[in-house]
Amino acid sequence: MDHYAGIDVSLECSSVCVVDANGKIVREAKVASEPEALIDWFRSLGFDLARIGLEAGPLSQWLYAAMKKACLAVELLETRHVSDAFKAMPVKSDRNDARNIAQLIRLGWFRPVHCKSMSAQETRAMLTARKLVQNKLQDVENSLRGILRGFGLKVGKTTKRSFAPRIRELVTGHPALETIAEALLAAHTVLVREFNGFEKRVRAMSRLDAKARLLMSTPGVGPVTSLTYASAIDDTSRFISSKRAGPLFGLTPKKYQSGETDYSGRISKNGDAAVREALYEAAHSILSKPIKGCAQLKSWAMRIARRAGISKAKVALARKLAVIMLRMLKDNVPFNATAKATAMAA
């Protein structure tokens, strides 16, 4: 008889539940959230497991990789699907979560999630750190502007180099404001230095990464967008069709159909928000700046803009870019603005 296991992962200890093919609970335990401890516990059962399920989360990829290496039949479950399946539970606990994950695994009511490679995780960690420093830098600048505005001091438009001198000029003669400004400007200087360091590292990574170099042949796509997209896709072989890129990153509309009701809503915004943001920025650049090699893309998006508005045109172009870039990665060919016209002519 087949057996199935569910793991509810926590920081210190994970709840584990094993059920048989009929759904009867065979074994339950609390196991340390360490790969070695979980692997040893499963091997001590005395029987093989058909599938082991754990919900995708911060620790899940680490545990999944180690258990997969130990030849255990482990699957990562999509968080949104697991959450929706548990909404009917009257009592929420780690033990009950492990039981329900085991039942989902037994019945096959789950969607497996791709576990990213170590290189993709490292790239994403670098991009996340860069974005964090960038946001904190913007927060410091906005806070300084807001503080001075309360005293009638308007900073106005500045550049990266002129921001600090402008602040010091305005606070001269105000002892309290001088103290505040110097403290925040000291933090601002450190953040600028670290952000510039991250920018250099990201650009160097994009030059060394073959996938990123390939994607940067696309108009409007730079180092950050290319690395963000490449690390999110990771393994192109898991996509049968390049059209799957749209739903994967939440760039396709939601649909609701029941009886006589049938309508399409706004985009779902499922999946990786960082990729969606990067693709939207690339689409914005194509539509708002004179970029070479994107005449067909731009004219296609502008026809949508005249019909439905510029915002929807940018979203549509972002989805089109996602599909094109996935096809580029699958075929390992650079962007070709005249590919469609050449194919039609042939």
The CA distance from 238 to 165, in Å, is 53
Q: Domain boundaries in the chain? A: 3-107, 119-208, 230-345
CA angle 213, 206, 275 (to 5 degrees): 90
Which among 169, 174, 139 is positioned nearest to 156, based on CA atoms? 169
The CA distance from 266 to 248, in Å, is 15
Write the DSSP string, 280-330. HHHHHHHHHS--TT-HHHHHHHHHHHHHH-HHHHHHHHHHHHHHHHHHHHH
Using one digit for the tens of pLDDT, what is the confidence trace for 229-240? Answer: 999 999 999 999
N- to C-terminal Cα distance for the chain? 58
pLDDT in tens, the chain (346 residues): 799 999 999 989 999 999 999 999 999 999 999 999 999 999 999 899 999 999 888 888 899 999 999 999 999 998 888 888 888 788 889 999 999 999 999 998 888 888 889 999 999 999 999 999 999 999 999 999 999 999 999 999 999 999 999 999 999 999 999 999 999 999 999 999 999 999 999 999 999 999 999 999 999 999 999 999 999 999 999 999 999 999 999 999 998 888 888 888 899 998 899 999 999 999 999 999 998 888 899 999 999 999 999 999 999 999 999 999 999 999 999 998 666 555 445 4
Tokens read off for 95: 């033990």
pLDDT at 344: 47
Q: Which CATH number fits domain 3-107: 3.40.50.2300, 3.30.420.40, 3.30.420.270, 3.40.30.10?
A: 3.30.420.40
pLDDT at 337: 66
Using one digit for the tens of pLDDT, what is the confidence trace for 147-171? Answer: 999 999 999 999 999 999 999 999 9
Asked whether the whole model's pTM tops 0.75, one would answer yes
pLDDT at 342: 53
Chain-centroid distance of CA 243 in Å reads 18
H, E, C per residue of 39-82: HHHHHCCCCCCCEEEEECCCCHHHHHHHHHHCCCCEEEECHHHH
The CA distance from 327 to 334, in Å, is 10
